[in-house]
Amino acid sequence: MCSLSAANARFCLDFFRELNKRKRNENIFFSPLSLSAAFGMVVLGARGSTLEQIEKVQLCIGKLKPTTKHLFSCLKCKEDEGVHSQFQALLAEVSEPGPGCCLTIANRLFGEITYPFFQASDRGQYLDSTKKFYRAELEPVNFKYTEEEVRDKINFWVENETKGKIKDLFAAGFIDPSTVLVLVNAIYFKGKWAVEFKKEDTKETYFHLNKNERRKVQMMFQEGYFNMAIIEELKTKVIELQYFNNELSMFILLPEDDCEDFTGLERLECVLTYEKLAEWTSSATMQPLRVKVYLPQFKMEESYVLNNTLQEMGVMNVFDWGKADLSGISMKDGLVVSKAIQKTIVEVNEEGTEAGCAMGLLAMPLCCPVTYEFKADRPFLFFIRHNQTNTILFFGRYSSP
């Protein structure tokens, strides 16, 4: 796996564990890649301990050294251009998944207009870098006197960038006159399956939230050959559902039912590491098996204020009025990231297009095949991966309809 993608995956799991402390048994859905890329714009202007803290939690993998040849072959960038150029190439690669998939990533920094964000000698370098590497700009706005107008402006920009899918990122009153810098991060994804779930096979059934509670869901079904692994020590099944053209895949980690004093999902979350996730989803572990797949229709819309979560992970100075050093953006003291927000949407339903190449890649066993069952009628983890670069675009937990 590319070193950039590996660092992104490690950060993904660290962030999930921290977020999980506040949202146990709740739905979770976020984009580690988009968050890392957005903070990359901050890194371009961060200095001193502010920069070091971000590097330590690998938000932007600031200490990553370009030594892995595979990284540059899959990203098609030069070895001496640094981590920001790696993000530039990676974002360009994953933002064009081809027919059948829609992936929108929108990043922007909005800063208080009374702050001299760019000296004449610095202006070109910083603005050029954010545009070049992250396709984003820092836009000066008047938080002090027109905060509601600015809120509407930011919301309109996000709605436009996500083709109308994400609306009202900021609620009324969220932005106030003391706001100095707002980091906005919005993502939308919808993909067509390589092999569709037929609508006539979708039936109403129960989703078990825990031992004692259940809710009705629309459960999709199909039977065919899928890459799957069975992790015996955790009594967990891992399946890959490919999207059109096989450029993107959803992986689902489904533990068995509750046992003893805690759920199988809690046990899985406790032991999950990047190394184990990489092993479980590798081609050496996953095998083409005939599987009856049951998957609920679901739509998740999640919004997070990230300040507290990132501070718990060690990113503190960038949010602190007295300690933030963003002198690469502005030489005036007191510039901080006031708010860090991420809002995500994912839709999962029957839609898809049958593709010969999807089934053609899965060789049928010569012996009489055993049919396995993968029934996601209880909480599970899932993530969406860009297969060429092994990059986790989105990570989530579906706990409740």
Give the closest residue to 59 by CA, choosing from 126, 1, 125, 14.
14
Q: Residue 376: what pLDDT? A: 95
pLDDT of residue 203: 96
Check whether residue 231 and residue 317 sit in a common domain.
no
Contact 378, 254 (CB under 8 A): yes
Pair 370, 275 in one domain: yes
Give the pLDDT confidence score for residue 58 in this predicted structure.
58
Beta-bridge partners for 248: 386
Quick one: pLDDT at residue 117? 67
Return phi, psi of residue 307, to 5°. -50, -55
- Residue 271 lies inside a defined structural domain of this protein: yes
In a domain? residue 291: yes
Whether residues 368 and 247 share a domain: the answer is yes
CATH code of the domain in which 312 resides: 3.30.497.10
Same domain? 170 vs 306: yes
How many structural domains does the chain have?
Answer: 2
Q: So what's the pLDDT on residue 5? A: 81
Q: What pLDDT was estimated at residue 219?
A: 96
CATH number of the domain where residue 261 is located: 2.30.39.10
Q: Are residues 270 and 310 in the same domain?
A: no
- The answer as to whether 401 is a domain residue is no
Domain shared by 269 and 239, yes or no: yes
Question: The whole model's pTM is what?
Answer: 0.86
The string over 213-244, giving b where at least 16 C-beta atoms fall within 10 Å of a residue's C-beta and e elsewhere, is eeeebbbbbbeebbbbbbbeebebbbbbbbbb
| Mean pLDDT of successive 10-residue stretches along the chain, which has 401 residues | 76 92 90 82 86 74 40 38 76 72 75 69 64 80 90 88 80 83 75 88 93 92 94 93 87 79 81 94 92 92 86 89 84 79 81 28 40 93 91 93 89
Q: Are residues 266 and 316 in the same domain?
A: no
Q: Are residues 238 and 215 in the same domain?
A: yes
For residue 245, the model assigns a pLDDT of 77
CA 355, CA 79: separation in Å to the nearest integer? 36
Query: Are 264 and 339 contained in the same domain?
Result: no
Host domain of residue 65: 3-191+300-346
Same domain, 111 and 235: no
